[in-house]
Amino acid sequence: MKKENFKKKFDLKIKQNLEFFYEYEYIYFKNKIFSSLFWENEDLDYSSKNKKEITNIEYKKLYKQAVEISFGIDHIINTDGLFKKKIKKPIVDSRLDKGDFQYIDFDCGDLYLRKNVILKNDNIYCYNLFSQFVDKISVKLNKFRWGMNYSMPCSKKEISKLIKTQTKKHCLDLGPVWINTAQYNFYMDGTKDDILYLTADLIWTDLKAIVKLSKKLFKLKKIIFIDYNIWFKPNKLDDDTDIRRYIINDCDNKKFKWWSSAPRLKNSPHLKKLKVFRKNINKKIEIEFHNNDYNIEVGDYYKDDCQKVLANAKII
Q: 74: which residues sit within 8 A by CB, 6+ positions away?
A: none
Of 73, 81, 62, 68, nearest in space to 33 by CA: 73
**What are the residue ranges spanned by the domains of the chain?**
6-80, 91-312
Inform me whether the pLDDT recorded for 149 exceeds 80.
Answer: yes
| Mean pLDDT (whole number) for 100-113 | 96
Cβ contact 40:71 at 8 Å: no
| Banded model confidence at residue 275, pLDDT cuts 50, 70, 90 | very high
Query: Are the C-beta atoms of 199 and 260 separated by less than 8 Å?
Result: yes
Q: Mean pLDDT across the stretch 87-116?
A: 94
Distance (Å, whole) CA 145 – CA 264: 27
Q: What is the DSSP string of 265-304?
A: -TTSHHHHHHHHHHHHS-TTSEEEE--GGG-TTTT-TTSS
Helix (H, G, I), strand (E, B), or coil: what is residue 101?
strand
* R_g of the chain, CA atoms, integer Å: 24
d(CA 138, CA 70): 37
What is the mean predicted confidence (pLDDT) over 284-309?
80
| Max CA separation in the chain (angstroms) | 78
pLDDT surpasses 90 at 279: yes
Classify strands 286-289 and 222-226 as parallel, antiparallel or unpaired.
Answer: parallel
pLDDT tens-digit series, residues 171-222: 888 889 999 999 999 987 888 999 999 999 999 999 999 999 999 999 999 9
Measured between alpha carbons, how far is 309 from 303 in angstroms, rounded to an integer?
11
